Structure 1
Amino acid sequence: MLWSDPEDEPPKELRETQAMMRRVGLVLALAMVLAMFVLGLR
């Protein structure tokens, strides 16, 4: 337990990466919905 991280707390880089991936996923989902809407109007 001396040199290992606490189990419930991932490292800072991993948390930042997870947050970024969540944002990217959200943007991608919104883009897909928008594309479906635009294609549906034509």
Structure 2
Amino acid sequence: MLWSDPKNEPPEELRQTQAMMRRVGLVLALAMVLAMFVVGLH
């Protein structure tokens, strides 16, 4: 690696997409837990 090489960072769009996917995954996980809780009550 040369000191002049660019930093190995993903472009802005990719970072935004990754952040969105992380949020979607979190919401899906919470929805799954809530659904199991509701099904467990019946």
The two structures share one fold, judged by TM-score above 0.5: yes
In structure 1, the gaps of 5 or more residues are none
Which protein has greater RCO, CA pairs closer than 8 Å, 6+ apart? 1
Misfit runs of 4+, over 2 Å: none
- Residue 5 of structure 1 and its aligned partner are, at CA, apart by 5.0
Q: Which runs of 5+ in 2 are unaligned?
A: none
Normalising by structure 2, what TM-score? 0.83
Residue aligning to 2:14: 14
Identity fraction in percent: 79
- State the TM-score, normalized to the length of structure 1: 0.83
Alignment: residue pair count: 38
**RMSD value, Cα:** 1.4
